[in-house]
């Protein structure tokens, strides 16, 4: 027994000498090695005798953060421009953000990537978006390492790092970092929030969700809202309730344990869907138009100091129409869209305010670091020049919208029956004082976003402004320094890429602190820019409202040159005056692009939606069998019936007293198809962007008992042709019972909803039923064959 005790002592001595974790050894003098995560459990520090009477117990202590490590709250809004919130001079009152800024700091030169998913990858990994596999969005992914949207294990997230250092971690809201083809019941779950270091997740996967009919997941399980829109359900309120509940419960159980709460609303990304009372608060507020809004915003920005004295308001671009050039109908319609957006943003601020109030009520509220990033990119112009009540149509390459059709929906704007997005020029005005909009990474209108930081225990210059150039990749290193934690060298046995970001914690102390980031590249959709020591060179390439536009010819792009030290808003192009400096900056962009794996450039829009994505099964598979209960399957994980002939066959059983409901459905109010039984008859409904609906109904009812029903779709287009119509034929027990045309079909994506058997989860494909419209009979199986 003495030999055993001696062996334990030798292990302890060796453990301390290597600097590995000594927690649980009975010694507080040894520091854990936090560069290798997870930290191993410490060696047993007790003694083991023949019985418990001769033994000494020693419980291993789990990792804890360094003394004084703060709670961390990351708040990230979506599609909000620099000049939209009142806190930064905008027209939308955001009193909750105002209050947080009054107790903290406003950062006026903070930057994003100009697009959703890549910005989020940069935030949670501390690496540039191409370096974390997220050069563009998952829906547009291509098979290149920088564009496949598979965050590598060598880029561990803030969730993993803080969790392994003893934090509780949770993620609420938008998750645009799990490829949707990995979001089915078969996973893999490595790139779900729970696989990226977050103990708990409640939210949606993808770029957006319907706020009344969200595609919801709790951890890795699909769940449905507890209430319907008619009962007052709204996802923004739901996720806020869940976040507050998790935070309070965590502190009730372990008040000493710090937490990481990542709060990422879908707002104010389209669909812009505020509760009606919030939309109505802004009636008439934007009748003066976007020109007046831009001028008034700029004056307030100067007065607030969120743009420096001497800043110029950038000139109107050729593509922005003067408000006074519009017709009365245009002005009426366009103003209503901005009222709707303002209501959505103001409502979001209200809900974030509830979260902040709950933070203030915590026992350790003062030691809570809140980093509130107001937008993952600039304001979005993706609604096109007339706006849209169905933005999925634009993403499929149909840029032109019917204004009379839009005007007919104004009373429903923002409600459960519309998925709206405002007009191009509102986004331009929302990015005051800068040029351009979301997706245009070449210019500050796409990449400069407000940020507010609050940390009562540390920040003394309350209400202060910080003008240092900072970027999303700098947030994680800042949090690590605040928590006295190193960037890990190894996580889960995987050697880590170095952080691309640097900490800006020094700026908390002084507005005069040196700038920590002196160089940064930007690239999205071939829009490119390089910042270096105050100089910035830009090449704008694609148009964000044109998913059908891919100009190529990158060598013909015109580069611009700006001196941001003297020209905050990028208003004076110096390229013609300083060709040598421009040449130097272009060479520097190529250097950074090589370093961070930006190539190959790809400017394709809607065409990339059609690019085949990985699937959970054989990519060449043409025969699929599903059973009842298979619901909430992401579109890219479901059979792709688009642009081809196909057959859906189902074995069903109808009780003697009849049955109705969904057999199979995919999509929702934006677009999709459904095969169902209504009033005893077999029905196939095709929804083309809520504008052209085709419905084929059987001439006779489906009989009681077991039957085989079939829908044959004969596609009119030749191989390679997209979006053509077709002919539907309905069969019951091999007997034709109906046929009819579908005039046109969706070429790329049905949108933001899902595929399911036996119910239509989310918003309804057809207007003739209320979701989920579950099948009241029995479903044996549903077979889909792609011809």
pLDDT in tens, 287-342: 999 999 999 999 999 999 999 999 999 999 999 999 999 999 999 999 999 999 99
Tell me: do 83 and 169 sit in the same domain.
yes
pLDDT at 594: 98
The answer as to whether 408 is a domain residue is yes
Tell me: do 34 and 141 sit in the same domain.
no
Six-digit token string for 573:
């192009």
Within its chain, how far is the Cα of 517 from the centroid? 25
CATH number at residue 766: 2.60.120.200
Reported as half-sphere exposure (CB side, CA atoms, 13 A), residue 782 has a value of: 25
Domain end among 448, 469, 490: 469
Query: Other CB atoms closer than 10 Å to residue 59's CB: what's the count?
Result: 9
Residues 238 and 246 sit within 8 Å (Cβ to Cβ):
no
Tell me: do 11 and 154 sit in the same domain.
no
CATH number at residue 330: 3.40.720.10
The one-character DSSP state at 113 is: -
Angle between helices 328-360 and 289-304 (to 10 degrees): 30
H or E segment at 92? none
Local structure of 5: helix, strand or coil: helix
At 398, is the pLDDT very low, low, confident or very high (cuts 50, 70, 90)? Answer: confident
Tell me: do 23 and 139 sit in the same domain.
no
Instruction: Identify the weakest region by mean pLDDT among 347-361, 431-445, 627-641.
Output: 627-641
Say how far apart CA 120 and CA 74 lie, in whole Å: 11
Tell me: do 32 and 116 sit in the same domain.
no
Comparing 277 with 16, which gets the higher pLDDT? 277
Tell me: do 16 and 144 sit in the same domain.
no
Say how far apart CA 294 and CA 292 lie, in whole Å: 5
Six-digit token string for 716:
């009119």
Overall average pLDDT of the 41-56 stretch: 95
Q: Please report, for residues 177, 178, 370, 440, 520, the alpha-carbon distance to residue 206 in angstroms, rounded to integers and kept in the order given.
A: 8, 7, 25, 21, 27
The answer as to whether 60 is a domain residue is no
Tell me: do 273 and 327 sit in the same domain.
yes
pLDDT at 616: 85
Classify residue 655 as exposed, middle or buried by CB count within 10 Å of its CB (0-12, 13-18, 19+).
Answer: exposed
At 397, is the pLDDT very low, low, confident or very high (cuts 50, 70, 90)? Answer: confident
pLDDT at 692: 95
pLDDT in tens, 5-41: 433 333 333 333 333 333 333 334 467 899 999 999 9
Tell me: do 313 and 196 sit in the same domain.
yes
Tell me: do 371 and 268 sit in the same domain.
yes
Overall average pLDDT of the 650-673 stretch: 97
Classify residue 647 as exposed, middle or buried by CB count within 10 Å of its CB (0-12, 13-18, 19+).
Answer: middle
The answer as to whether 79 is a domain residue is yes
For the chain, the domain total comes to 3
Domain end among 442, 469, 496: 469
Overall average pLDDT of the 450-469 stretch: 98
Tell me: do 271 and 364 sit in the same domain.
yes
Closest among 79, 80, 83 to 91, alpha carbons compared: 83
List all residues 6 or more positions away from 116 whose beta carbon is below 8 Å from its beta carbon. Answer: 78, 79, 137, 174, 176, 207, 269, 376, 377
Tell me: do 263 and 191 sit in the same domain.
yes
Say how far apart CA 306 and CA 466 lie, in whole Å: 9
The three-state (H, E, C) secondary structure of 301-368, written as one string:
HHHHCCCCCCCCCCCCCCCCCCHHHCCHHHHHHHHHHHHHHHHHHHHHHHHHHHHHHHHHCCCCHHHE
630: containing domain:
623-786
pLDDT at 548: 84
Tell me: do 157 and 36 sit in the same domain.
no
pLDDT at 202: 98
pLDDT at 389: 94
The answer as to whether 674 is a domain residue is yes
**Which stretches does DSSP call E strand in 176-223?**
200-205, 216-218, 221-223
H or E segment at 623? strand 623-626
Q: What is the CA radius of gyration of the chain?
A: 28
pLDDT in tens, 689-737: 999 999 999 999 999 999 999 999 999 999 989 999 999 999 999 999 9
Six-digit token string for 274:
């505020």
pLDDT in tens, 134-178: 999 998 999 999 999 999 999 999 999 999 999 999 999 999 999
pLDDT of 575 > 80? The answer is yes
């Amino acid at each position: 027994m003495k030999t055993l005790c001696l062996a334990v002592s030798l292990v302890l001595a060796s453990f301390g000498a290597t600097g590995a974790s000594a927690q649980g050894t009975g010694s507080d003098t040894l520091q854990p090695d936090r560069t290798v995560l997870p930290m191993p459990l410490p060696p047993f520090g007790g003694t083991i005798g023949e019985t418990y009477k001769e033994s000494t117990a020693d419980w291993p202590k789990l990792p804890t953060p360094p003394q004084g490590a703060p709670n961390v709250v990351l708040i990230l809004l979506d599609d909000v421009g620099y000049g939209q919130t009142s806190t930064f001079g905008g027209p939308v009152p955001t009193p909750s953000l105002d209050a947080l800024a009054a107790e903290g700091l406003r950062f006026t030169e903070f930057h994003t990537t100009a697009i959703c998913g890549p910005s989020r990858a940069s935030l949670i990994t501390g690496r540039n978006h191409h370096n974390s596999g997220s050069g563009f969005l998952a829906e547009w992914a291509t098979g290149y390492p920088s564009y496949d949207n598979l965050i590598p294990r060598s880029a561990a997230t803030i969730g993993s790092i803080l969790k392994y250092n003893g934090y509780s971690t949770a993620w609420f809201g938008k998750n645009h970092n799990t490829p949707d083809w990995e979001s089915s019941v078969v996973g893999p779950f490595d790139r779900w929030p729970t696989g990226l270091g977050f103990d708990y997740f409640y939210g949606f996967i993808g770029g957006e969700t319907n706020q009344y009919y969200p595609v919801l997941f709790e951890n890795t399980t699909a769940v449905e809202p507890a209430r319907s829109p008619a009962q007052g359900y709204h996802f923004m309120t739901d996720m806020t309730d869940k976040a507050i509940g998790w935070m309070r419960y965590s502190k009730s159980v372990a008040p000493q344990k710090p937490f990481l709460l990542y709060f990422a609303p879908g707002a104010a990304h389209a669909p812009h869907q505020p509760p009606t009372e919030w939309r109505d608060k802004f009636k008439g507020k934007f009748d003066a138009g976007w020109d007046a809004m831009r001028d008034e915003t700029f004056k307030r920005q100067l007065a607030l100091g969120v743009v420096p004295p001497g800043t110029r308001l950038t000139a109107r671009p050729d593509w922005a129409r003067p408000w006074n050039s519009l017709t009365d109908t245009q002005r009426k319609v366009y103003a209503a869209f901005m009222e709707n957006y303002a209501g959505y943003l103001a409502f979001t601020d209200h809900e974030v305010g509830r979260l902040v109030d709950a933070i203030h009520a915590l026992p350790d509220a003062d030691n809570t670091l809140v980093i509130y990033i107001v937008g993952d990119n600039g304001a979005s112009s993706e609604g096109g020049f007339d706006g849209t009540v169905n933005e999925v149509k634009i993403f499929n390459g149909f840029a032109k919208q019917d204004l009379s059709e839009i005007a007919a929906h104004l009373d429903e704007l923002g409600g459960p029956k519309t998925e709206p997005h405002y007009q191009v020029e509102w986004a331009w005005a929302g990015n005051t004082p800068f040029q351009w909009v979301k997706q245009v990474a070449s210019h500050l209108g796409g990449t400069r976003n407000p940020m507010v930081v609050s940390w009562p225990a540390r920040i003394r210059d309350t209400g202060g402004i910080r003008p240092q150039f900072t970027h999303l990749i700098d947030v994680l290193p800042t949090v690590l320094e605040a928590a006295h934690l190193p960037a890990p060298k190894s996580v889960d046995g995987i050697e880590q890429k170095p952080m691309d970001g640097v900490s800006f914690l020094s700026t908390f102390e002084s507005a005069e602190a040196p700038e920590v980031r002196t160089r940064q590249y930007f690239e999205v959709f071939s829009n490119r820019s390089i910042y270096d020591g105050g100089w910035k060179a830009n090449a704008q390439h694609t148009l964000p409202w044109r998913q059908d536009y891919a100009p190529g010819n990158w060598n013909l792009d015109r580069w611009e040159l700006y001196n941001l030290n003297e020209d905050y808003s990028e208003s004076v192009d110096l390229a013609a005056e300083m060709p040598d400096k421009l040449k130097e900056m272009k060479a520097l962009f190529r250097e950074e692009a090589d370093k961070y794996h930006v190539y190959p450039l790809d400017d394709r829009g809607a065409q990339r939606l059609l690019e085949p994505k990985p699937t959970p099964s054989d990519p060449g598979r043409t025969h699929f069998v599903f059973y009842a209960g298979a619901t909430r399957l992401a579109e890219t994980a479901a059979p792709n019936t688009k642009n081809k002939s196909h057959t859906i066959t189902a074995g069903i059983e109808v009780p003697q007293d009849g049955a109705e409901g969904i057999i199979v459905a995919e999509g929702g109010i934006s677009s999709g198809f459904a095969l169902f039984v209504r009033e005893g008859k077999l029905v196939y409904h095709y929804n083309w962007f809520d504008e052209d609906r085709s419905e084929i109904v059987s001439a006779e009812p489906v009989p009681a008992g077991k039957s085989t029903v079939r829908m044959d779709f004969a596609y009119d287009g030749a191989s390679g042709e997209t979006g053509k119509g077709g002919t539907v034929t309905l069969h019951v027990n091999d007997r034709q019972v109906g046929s009819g045309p579908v005039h046109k079909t969706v070429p790329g994506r049905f949108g933001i909803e899902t595929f399911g058997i036996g119910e239509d989860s989310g918003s309804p494909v057809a207007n003739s039923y209320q979701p989920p419209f579950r099948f009241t009979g029995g479903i044996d199986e549903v077979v889909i064959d792609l011809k």
